[in-house]
Amino acid sequence: MILFLFIYMLIIFAVIEIFVILFRLTGLKVEVSRFQVISMMTGTGFTTGESELILGHPIRRKLATFLILFGAFSLAVIISSISQFLSEGLRAKEILICAAAVMVLLGVLKMESVRRVMAKFFNRQMKQTIELADLPIRDVFLNNKEDLLLHLYIYEDSALVNQTFHEAIKDYEELDLVLLFIQRGDIKIRKNLYDTKLHEGDQLLIYGVKEVIFSILHEDISIMKENQKNFEQSKII
């Protein structure tokens, strides 16, 4: 009985590591991958905000579907196997073969050459079958570490209030940043963005190089963070 439980846990561990590797090959961070894999297998915690990184990615959704089904069926298998063990005895040979196969698969996926091939395959599948609009924001905009997509809220004491983007940021055309749109209430402004006078309450979506954005807009970002911090504290009180 103890041997069966040990082998079963070994198989579960190997499956977790296999899918952590597969999710990493799609661009997901290892710590996020491991938590989400365990969440999907156990059916707990998958409703966290990080799950959007999986739900918004077509290949990750397919991997997640298998994991959720595996988690549900594996519980049924262990209950059935324990019952069989209590009535007939444990078939160690079949279980050992299954465990060995899973461990071999894990070993193969840990090989650098295999991971490179799998990563290329996933990327090719994305390019062949997925429309750009179906991809998550991270995969479209944030391909490099220096990329940043900033959702900037404009407050009363912001330096941008009552100025246009053009007036506030000189020579913006030569900088590595782009103003994508201005959200004003329910209205999304897409025309004449750089010459539109900004108001308190506006929300800007800005894309560019992280270092440039923080250098140019550091004051407005600090004001936004301070106001949001004060708001959160007031909610707690």
pLDDT tens for the chain, 237 residues: list them.
566 667 777 777 888 888 888 888 877 777 778 888 888 877 776 555 667 677 767 778 888 888 888 777 776 666 666 556 545 555 556 667 777 787 887 788 778 787 777 777 766 655 544 554 555 556 556 667 788 888 899 988 888 888 888 888 877 777 788 888 999 888 888 888 888 899 988 999 988 888 888 888 888 889 888 887 776 655 544
* Phi, psi at 148, each rounded to 5°: -145, 135
Q: Are 39 and 46 in contact (CB under 8 A)?
A: yes
Give residue for tokens 């994991």. Answer: 67
What CATH number is given for 144-236 in this structure?
3.30.70.1450
Give long-range contacts, CB 8 A cutoff, 24+ apart: 2-6: 3/90, 3/92, 4/81, 4/82, 4/85, 4/90, 4/92, 4/95
Residue 177, CA distances (Å) to 131, 168, 182, 215 in order: 25, 14, 15, 11
* Phi, psi at 192, each rounded to 5°: 50, 45
pTM tops 0.75 = no
